[in-house]
Amino acid sequence: MPPILSVWLCGRLIHPDVICEYVYWDKEAKEKTFYQPGDFERLFSESKKIKLFYKDGANLLEIATLPSLIKNLEEKHPGCKLSFQSIEETSGGAIATLVLEESKDIAVEEIEAIRAVIQAEAEHNINALRLALESKDKDIAELQIEVKTLDRVIDKFIKKAGKTIMGDAYKISGQAGAVGPNAHAHDNTFNQLVNQINQSIDLSALAKELSELHQAIKDKQDSSPQADIALVKVAEAEIAACEKDTAKVVEHLKAAGKWTMDFAKEIGKDVVAEAIKQAMQGHSVFVSLTPCFSSVPT
């Protein structure tokens, strides 16, 4: 039988012509692990391994994108076949190991050079993905902080207006078909409006323009109440558009109001301007209420 472990040291193949049929991995050397011809060399030769280090560990999304990473690298290097071997924790993070399979299209002397190129490209790709994820998480966190902060500003304006409603009170947000005792719906256009916007406006393009409009409002540094409200509602509408929730988009754009529509037109955000126009014109509420109410200023 040809030599087995005597030609291996710390996982590195010392003699290229070794044939390994089986290995004892247990301490007592009682259980054999069998390998098909070439499998042991393919799996444990360091010269064919690509090791990707994830600082502080790999998150679920990074792990889930490994198959796509492998496919992308194979497409860039025709004739190369990569396989996923393992992912394990290590000091300071985690290491994912890929194996460069043997191929008749690749000369033995070229394997190390190709492995080094693929190693560099893979490291670049995972670093780019991590930076993109961190940037997106930061943007979302900033939006959430701004929405909460400006919601408090709006609450102050509402309290300052000081309306006290007597009798039965109803809070209407967006479209209302009928509200309260003996209320009757005379017209209901909300569903038609949502369908109309779905058909006439690309939500992806709308989300992009809303993001740009949000930044433009911030850059404008307008301290007026209209600008404060616009900043909140545009951010909420952007989130709804990204989630493909047209009903919420309509609700937030209607609340954004004419100031936002005029500013969107001014800076050339025509998709946003048209969406606000449709929301304001079609998002009507027709109700008849029997309870009485009065307004008492504070």
Q: pLDDT tens for residues 112-131?
A: 788 888 889 988 988 888 88
Is there a single domain that holds both residue 248 and residue 187? Answer: yes
Is there a single domain that holds both residue 188 and residue 246? Answer: yes
| Arithmetic mean of pLDDT, 55-61 | 87
Burial 112-143 (b: 16+ CB within 10 A, else e): eebbeebbebbeebbeeebeeeeeeeeeeeeb
Task: Give domain status of residue 91, yes or no.
Answer: yes
Task: Give domain status of residue 7, yes or no.
Answer: yes
When divided into structural domains, the chain yields a total of 3
Task: Give domain status of residue 152, yes or no.
Answer: no
Number of H helices and E strands in the chain, helices first, is 9, 7
Task: Give domain status of residue 287, yes or no.
Answer: no
pLDDT at 181: 52
Q: What is the pTM of this model?
A: 0.35
A 10 A CB-CB count for 41 gives: 19
26-46 pLDDT tens trace: 878 888 888 787 666 655 565
Q: What is the DSSP string of 101-170?
A: ---TTS-GGGHHHHHHHHHHHHHHHHHHHHHHHHHHHHHHHHHHHHHHHHHHHHHHHHHHH-----SS--
pLDDT at 108: 61
The torsion of the CA quartet 216, 217, 219, 225, rounded to 10 degrees, works out to 170
**Residue 2 in this model has a pLDDT that exceeds 70:** no
Is there a single domain that holds both residue 209 and residue 224? Answer: yes
Task: Give domain status of residue 161, yes or no.
Answer: no
Task: Give domain status of residue 88, yes or no.
Answer: yes
Find the helix or strand (DSSP H, E) in which 221 lies: none
| Arithmetic mean of pLDDT, 134-138 | 75
**Residue 176 in this model has a pLDDT that exceeds 80:** no
Task: Give domain status of residue 295, yes or no.
Answer: no
**Residue 166 in this model has a pLDDT that exceeds 50:** no
Is there a single domain that holds both residue 124 and residue 183? Answer: no
Q: Are 135 and 128 in contact (CB under 8 A)?
A: no
Is there a single domain that holds both residue 270 and residue 202? Answer: yes
CATH code: domain of residue 124: 3.30.70
pLDDT at 190: 67
Is there a single domain that holds both residue 40 and residue 72? Answer: no
DSSP label of 16: T
Task: Give domain status of residue 294, yes or no.
Answer: no
pLDDT at 58: 87
243-289 pLDDT tens trace: 888 888 888 888 888 999 999 999 999 988 888 888 887 644 333 33
pLDDT at 100: 84
Structure tokens given for 122:
């893979």
Could you tell me what percent of the chain has a pLDDT over 90?
A: 8
Is there a single domain that holds both residue 182 and residue 100? Answer: no
Residues sharing a CB contact under 8 Å with residue 224, sequence separation 6 or more, in sequence order: 259
Is there a single domain that holds both residue 9 and residue 78? Answer: no
pLDDT at 14: 41
- Residue entry with tokens 């300071």: 92
Is there a single domain that holds both residue 191 and residue 256? Answer: yes
Query: Which residue range is the domain that position 30 belongs to?
Result: 1-44
pLDDT at 180: 53
Is there a single domain that holds both residue 189 and residue 112? Answer: no
**Furthest CA-CA distance within the chain:** 100
Of residues 163 and 11, the one with the higher pLDDT is 163
Beta bridge partners of 90: 93
Q: Identify the top-confidence range among 42-46, 141-145, 288-292.
A: 141-145
| Arithmetic mean of pLDDT, 196-218 | 86
Is there a single domain that holds both residue 36 and residue 55? Answer: no
What is the rounded distance in angstroms from the CA atom of residue 63 to the CA atom of residue 145? 29
